């Protein structure tokens, strides 16, 4: 019993989020029973993948005490680079080599995409750590630069003609979870399974590896961390690399899922990502937050969006509602901290 209480106290935030989730799901189900249908849930899981993966990187960098608001642009630029390598380049510079090696082309395309995010994010990180500029400003600049590059690379036009194999992977739903008393089980999208794997890695990184402890300590108090022999600059740069990598992975999966490259993909993503991370209980001051909380934060954001659609709320009012909910979540966190601070 005592263990249960202390467990509850330590995971208060998670328990609250789960409660919010249940209430939200119940409400939506009450409005439209189709919400809990296997098909709808499968669709929701596919749709949340981008948000989910980018939010993981954002969680880690915010715990580290920094910010990266360029993630949306990095998602877009990753897709653009991938599209350019896979479609534009073979068309412009037709060469028998690429025709003979389609698999190699795909590897180069995905690889090139996956390099873009980390490279630019590390560049932001270097500016932040070497010139001691607030990461908010640096990554705001990077947001604009990467978006501009996306338009340059794509020529401002969508790129179609992504190889069929990639598209097929993007829409495949290989795993079926049987649901009792229902014929069709819940089919999990392949891209969602990738996200799950990434989260397992992220959780392990933050909770079972020395690096995770360093990230938390640098975010909580960089001086203490430095005086404990931790190379705070290196930790910060790694966090930037991780958030960039997450954005790139999300960008690659996004292209596969949609089957085309859009020059606007990822635009405005940073707002939803930060909202999900904050709702998940991560402190913007650094040093505090959990990977699991972010998962729940993302699901809540996606459900709210789904709810607003189902409730036929005027599209103009939808961001109003999301904004208000974010504010409530932050106020709730602040109140909680005040209460727990007063009792200790």
Partner 1 sequence: MNLSAKMDGRGGIGLPPQTKTHSGMLRAHNISKSFGATQALDDVSITLEPGEIHGLIGENGAGKSTLVKTLCGVYRPDSGEIEISGSPITGWSPEVAIASGLITVHQDVNLIESMTVVENIFLNAEIMRGPLLDQKAMEAEARTLLDKLHLEISPKAVLGSLPTDLRKMVQLARAMRQKPRVLLLDEPTSSLTADEVDVLITQVKGIAATGVSVLYISHYLNEVFNYTQRLTVLRDGKTAWQGSTDNITMSEAIRTMIGGTLRTSMKRSAENQITSAPVLELRNLSLGHRLNEISFDIKPGEILGIGGLIGAGLGDLARTIFADPDYRATGGEIVMDEKIVQWDSPADAMNAGVGLVTNDRHRTGAIVDFSISDNIGLPSLDRFSSRFGVLNSEALKTEVESQMKLLSVKASGPLAALSTLSGGNQQKVMLAKWFMTNPRVLILDEPTIGVDIGAKQSIKDLILKKAAEGCAVIILTSEMEELADIADRALVLFRGRIVARLDKPGFSQEELTAAANASFEAISSTQTSDTSVEMIL
- Of the pair 89, 284, the CB lying nearest partner 1 is at 284
Task: Count Cβ atoms below 10 Å from residue 154 Cβ, excluding itself.
Answer: 23
Q: Which is nearer to partner 1, 130 or 157 (CB)?
A: 130
- DSSP code at position 261: B
- Choice between 73 and 333, CB closer to partner 1: 333
Among 3, 223, 315, 316, binds partner 1 (CB under 8 A): 223
What is the closest distance, in whole angstroms, from the C-beta atom of residue 270 to partner 1 in the complex? 27
Q: Which of 182, 224, 328, 334 binds partner 1 (CB under 8 A)?
A: 224
Q: Does 284 interact with partner 1 (rule: CB under 8 A)? A: no
Number of residues that bind partner 1 (CB under 8 A): 23
Residues whose CB is less than 8 angstroms from the CB of residue 105 and which lie 6 or more positions away in sequence, other chains included? 85, 86, 90, 98
Residue 274 C-beta: closest distance to partner 1, Å: 22
Stretch that binds partner 1, among 111-119, 193-201, 215-223, 307-315 (CB under 8 A): 215-223
Which helix (DSSP H) or strand (DSSP E) does residue 176 occupy?
A: strand 175-177
Token code pair at residue 283: 């402190």
Cβ–Cβ under 8 Å, residues 220 and 288: yes
- Cα separation, 43 vs 22, in Å, equals 19
CA atoms of 266 and 331, how far apart (whole Å): 28
* Distant-in-sequence, close-in-space partners of 91: CB < 8 Å, separation ≥ 6: none
Minimum distance from residue 221 beta carbon to partner 1 (Å)? 5
Number of neighbours of residue 276 by Cβ within 10 angstroms = 29
Q: Quick check: 220 binds partner 1 (CB under 8 A)?
A: yes
The token pair at 6 is 């202390």
User: Toward partner 1, which CB reaches closer, 1 or 92?
Assistant: 1
Query: Between 16 and 221, whose beta carbon lies closer to partner 1?
Result: 221
Single residue of 266, 287, 289, 293 touching partner 1 by CB under 8 A: 287
Task: Report the residue from 192, 199, 216, 307 that binds partner 1 according to the rule CB under 8 A.
Answer: 216
**For residue 281, what are the contacts with CB-CB under 8 A and spacing of at least 6?**
13, 14, 17, 288, 289, 290, 293, 297, 333
Token reading at 194 = 């990738």
Window 225 to 264, contacts with partner 1 (CB under 8 A)? 225-231
The residue (of 103 and 132) whose beta carbon lies closer to partner 1 is: 132
Summarize as ranges the residues that interact with partner 1 (CB under 8 A).
Answer: 208-214, 216-217, 220-221, 223-231, 287-288, 344
């Amino acid at each position: 019993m005592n263990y249960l209480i202390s467990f509850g106290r330590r995971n208060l935030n998670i328990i609250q989020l789960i409660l919010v989730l249940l209430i939200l799901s119940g409400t939506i189900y009450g409005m439209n029973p189709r919400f809990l249908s296997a098909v709808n849930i499968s669709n929701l899981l596919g749709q949340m993948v981008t948000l989910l993966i980018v939010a993981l990187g954002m969680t880690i960098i915010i715990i580290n005490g920094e910010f990266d608001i360029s993630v949306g642009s990095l998602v877009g630029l990753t897709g653009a680079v991938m599209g350019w390598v896979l479609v534009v380049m073979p068309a412009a510079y037709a060469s028998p080599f690429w025709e003979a090696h389609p698999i190699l082309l795909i590897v180069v395309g995905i690889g090139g995409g996956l390099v873009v995010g980390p490279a630019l994010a590390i560049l932001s990180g270097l500016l932040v750590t070497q010139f001691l500029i607030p990461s908010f400003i640096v990554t705001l600049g990077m947001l604009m630069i990467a978006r501009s590059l996306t338009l340059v690379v794509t020529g401002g036009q969508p790129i179609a003609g992504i190889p069929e194999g990639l598209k097929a992977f993007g829409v495949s739903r290989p795993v079926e979870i049987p649901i009792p008393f229902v014929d069709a089980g819940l089919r999990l999208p392949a891209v969602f399974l990738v996200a799950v794997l990434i989260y397992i890695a992220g959780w392990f990184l933050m909770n079972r590896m020395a690096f995770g402890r360093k990230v938390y300590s640098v975010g909580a108090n960089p001086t203490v961390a430095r005086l404990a022999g931790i190379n705070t600059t290196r930790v910060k740069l790694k966090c930037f690399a991780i958030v960039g990598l997450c954005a790139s992975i999300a960008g690659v999966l996004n292209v596969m899922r949609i089957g085309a490259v859009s020059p606007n993909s990822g635009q405005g993503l940073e707002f939803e990502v930060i909202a999900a991370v904050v709702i998940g209980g991560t402190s913007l001051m650094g040093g505090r937050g959990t990977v699991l909380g972010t998962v729940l934060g993302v699901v809540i954001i996606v459900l709210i969006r789904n709810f607003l659609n189902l409730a036929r709320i005027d599209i103009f009012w939808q961001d109003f509602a999301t904004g208000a909910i974010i504010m409530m979540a932050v106020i709730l966190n602040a109140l909680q901290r005040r209460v727990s601070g007063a009792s200790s």
